[in-house]
Structure 1
Amino acid sequence: MAKHFADPVAELTEAPTPPETPVGLSVPAMSGDNERRRALRKMKATAAGLLILAAIIFIACVIWQKNAAPTWVGYVRATAEASMVGALADWFAVTALFRHPLGLKIPHTAIIPNKKDQIGESLGEFVQSNFLTGPVLADKLRQIGVSQRIGQFIAEPANARRLGDTIGAAIEGATEIMNDDDVQAALDSLIVSRVRATPAAPLLAKVIDIAVDGGNHQHMLTAALKGMAKFLEENKAVFRQKVSEESPDWVPNWVDDRIFTKMFTGVQSFIHDVSIDEDHELRHQFDARIKEYAEDLRTNPATAAKVDAIKEDVLSHPAVKEWSSSLWSAIKRNLVDLSKDPESPLRQQIEMTIMRFGTMLTTDDTLRGKIDGWVERALLYVVDQYKGDIADLISGTVARWDTVETSKRIELQVGRDLQFIRINGTVVGALAGLVIYTIAQLIG
């Protein structure tokens, strides 16, 4: 069967097109590919046009020289002939990078398709050796000024609002993926178990000390006395009825009234005196007793045990258990509601915090220097640990690309510039042919 040969002129001007059935992964398209394709097609047509022009001139000179032609025709013929040789040689060289010229599997042609994997490995090594290095990255980070740019960005209200939206969505998503039972158990362990494991007596003694140092215990006593006086006044009839019930039947009511009035007035007068007299003896006794109790809490195991028993009773109460079991549900519900509402106090606080932090980054040189240092150290650590993996990612990705499509894609990116090689070869070949022919004529 006769071997099919491609049309050389058509191949000279063809534009790269994606293969119909790629073997590997498709190479990602880039913006401006259509413009590059038109420019490549135009440059190929220009280079092919120069070759065709040289061929026409050469044929015309050959035909002319069959008759008596002027001497200068020989110079033009030599120029055109050398121009064709240069054009074809450079066409072959450029084409051999991307495919087999004329479909002939000549050794050392279709270099890019055949060497695609090696090119990917070399590219990965090149990036690793020349870009993923500490000095290069550190210098680039300092030029960028990461914290300065971040600060300027998040200090803008609109950007803070977008970040707030993102954080709100993240909060909502995080609450949805969490296992409620696990979170509830963690909260119970963190709060109830921690409270149960903490001795109550020393803590209560410390609270009493703080209250005494600030005189708050006397304020509490005053409030309690006033509350008691109000309580007695509001329930005066009840107490009077109780006196009547306890009094013998033979005692007249007017006697009960006088006795009750005298007792009730005396109690109210005593409470009033204590509540308004900051130097009252009862207050001094109260002060002494509460200090003694605080000391007893610290030193007497029996007293401490009683307080811990009270704490345990409180923690074991059904109301406390119900509160503990519903704690996460309430927190989760509030977080979700607040994260969805852009006008909620939580979202507004998040946005204000973001903007304040952005302002601090733009104005505080010390803070900015610290953050830039953290970012630099973190990035350099990651790159140092994983630069080999990054290089493998590059080489592996290139290795998985479809061979033919990769070749066409590379040609699309650099092929227009390579066509200048063909044009230069055509022009330089013509000049070289003219010079050589001229020298030959002079020698001859």
Structure 2
Amino acid sequence: MRMVATGLLLAMAALFLVARRYEGVHPAWGYALAFAEAAMVGGLADWFAVTALFRRPLGLPIPHTAIIPENKDRIADTMAAFLRDNFLTPAVVARRLRAMNLALAAGNFLSAPTGGGQSRIRAGAAELFAEVLESLDPERLGGQVKAGLRGQLDRLEIAPLLGQMLEAAIADKRHLPLLESILRWAGATLEANEELVRGMIHQRAHALLRLTGLDERLANAVLDGLYKLIAECIVDPDHPLRRKVEEGLERFAHDLGHDPAMQARVERMKHELLDNPALARWWEGVWERIRRALIDLARDPDAALAGQFGDALSELGQALRDDPALQLQINRFARRTAVGVATRYGGQIVTLVSDTVKRWDARTVTGRIESAVGRDLQFIRVNGTLVGGLVGVTIHTVDGWL
């Protein structure tokens, strides 16, 4: 476009020379001369204006030229202020997100993950995600994740959390299925090891009992009593033994939340577990399997979305798509999250923009802006040449009438 604009200016100069030579031959050459003369003035004026934005015309130190390179820092601050005032204020973010139904969009995407115009976007994002995971050092990344997890667990007080969970489970009777499962397991274990129990009773019985055969009757009585106790505990929710167990669990939950000695004991066990090298090796293996699974998921999303996982995502998408109350909650959460990010990090984001532009050299700034809008700027030169010529013809016509 720069060549087109310059070529048009040269064409007007050539037309000027020709019209100047043949001006007396015919009155029409006067109009051509006026058009070419005014077009050259308009084209040169706009060339100067466009060039002065990015550099000094002909290298001359003319005041108020090379405007963009000379004001690079001010432009960076202006861009940052524009971004902050028009995009990253909490009110603007909340207003924009209030007009968007993110939950519905996510629901439509998840309910039909393999169709629609999103496939190319999803494929590109998945490929980028897979390449990022593959490019990262697995050992270093795993170590960083492990260190971050270790730091979070170090700061987390496990005992009160476990106590609250146990108290909530007891209050909601969620411990009863577990207790019944333990009792049934105890009954099955006793039945599977019945001969072992009989042998232990025979060995510890007095010789007189063995001689009279009473040891066998004693073993049967012990086993029958144990079976009866387990059965009664299973069928009777108010059995004294079950109540004793529940009282023990309640006391244990209370100690976890309020007993400093119990809390210190749990914290000591936690640190011993975290310091165990076997746990570190186990976590590294788990992380590597997670990383490989994520890479496989990104490389072949259609296969990963098949089966139960895909069905679960589809059900989630249908719930998001069809439940207005759920959409309201999720949209509200997304809006609050985005507003919080804008409030906490908006200043850092605009500072990043400003500092990045300020670190660019003048040639980089000039090149990037000129590449973005340079074609339209050259159209300004073309339009200036043509409009100038038309104004020249108009003036020449009016002058002829006078």
TM-score by length of 1: 0.56
* Residue 136 (1) aligns with residue 92 (2): yes
| 1:429 alignment partner in structure 2 | 388
Partners in 2 of 1:324 and 1:219 — Cα distance? 33
Matched with 2:254 is none
Shift of 1:373: 0.9
Give the superposition deviation at 1:64.
2.9
**Which range moved further: 264-273 or 434-443?**
264-273
Mean CA deviation greater in 138-147 or 333-342: 333-342
Equivalents in 2 of 1:275, 1:128: separation in Å? 74
Structure 1 residues 262, 175: CA separation in 2 closer, same or farther (over 3 Å shift)? same
What is the RMSD of the two structures over their aligned residues, measured on CA atoms? 5.5
Deviations 1:323-349 (A, max 9, x none): 995773585377347536759xxx999
User: Cα deviation per residue 1:341-360 (whole Å; 9 max; x = unaligned)?
Assistant: 759xxx99988766654454
2:201·2:219 contact (CA, 8 Å) conserved in 1?
Answer: no
Cα distance, 1:370 vs structure 2: 1.3
Q: Which runs of 5+ in 2 are unaligned?
A: 164-175, 230-237, 250-261, 267-271, 295-303
Aligned: 1:53 with 2:20: no
User: Shift of residue 218 of structure 1?
Assistant: 12
What is the DSSP-based 3-state SS (H/G/I as helix, E as strand, rest coil) of the residue aligned with 1:106?
coil
2:143 paired residue number? 176
* Aligned CA distance change for structure 1 residues 220 and 393 (closer, same or farther; 3 Å): closer
After superposing the two structures, state which structure 1 stretch, 90-99 or 136-145, moved more.
136-145
Q: Deviations over 1:259-314 (max 9, x none)?
A: 93463565467668868999xxxxxxxx999699889999xxxxxxxxxxxx9xxx
The residue that corresponds to 1:92 in the other structure is 48
How many matched pairs? 337
Q: Per the alignment, in what secondary structure is the counterpart of residue 127 of structure 1?
A: helix
Percent identity reads 29
DSSP 3-state at the match of 1:119: helix
Q: Is 1:117–1:398's contact at 8 Å kept on the other side of the alignment?
A: yes
Deviation at 1:100, TM superposition (A): 1.5
Contact map agreement 2:56 2:66 (CA 8 A) in 1: yes
Cα distance in 2 for partners of 1:339, 1:81 equals: 74
Greater shift, 259-268 or 133-142, is seen at 259-268
Pick the structure with greater CA Rg.
1
**Distance (Å, rounded) in 1 between the aligned partners of 2:376 and 2:200:** 102
The 1-side partners of 2:394 and 2:188 are apart by: 120
Q: CA deviation at 1:374?
A: 1.3
Unaligned runs of 5+ in 1: 1-39, 198-209, 247-255, 279-286, 299-310, 316-320
Residues 1:323 and 1:266: Cα distance change in structure 2 (over 3 Å): farther
- Pairwise CA distance, 1:92: 1.5
In structure 2, C-alpha distance between the alignment counterparts of 1:376 and 1:418, rounded to whole Å: 40
- Could you state the TM-score of these two structures normalised by the residue count of structure 2? 0.61
Whole-Å Cα distance in 1 between the matches of residues 398 and 368 of structure 2?
Answer: 45
Quote the Cα distance in structure 2 between the aligned partners of 1:262 and 1:416: 110
Cα distance change of structure 1 residues 266 and 226 upon mapping to structure 2, 3 Å threshold: farther
8 Å contact kept, 1:171–1:339: no
In structure 1, the residue matched to 2:364 is: 405
Structure 1 residues 331, 102: CA separation in 2 closer, same or farther (over 3 Å shift)? closer
1:274-293 correspondence runs (5 A): none
Matches within 5 A, 1:213-232: 231-232=197-198
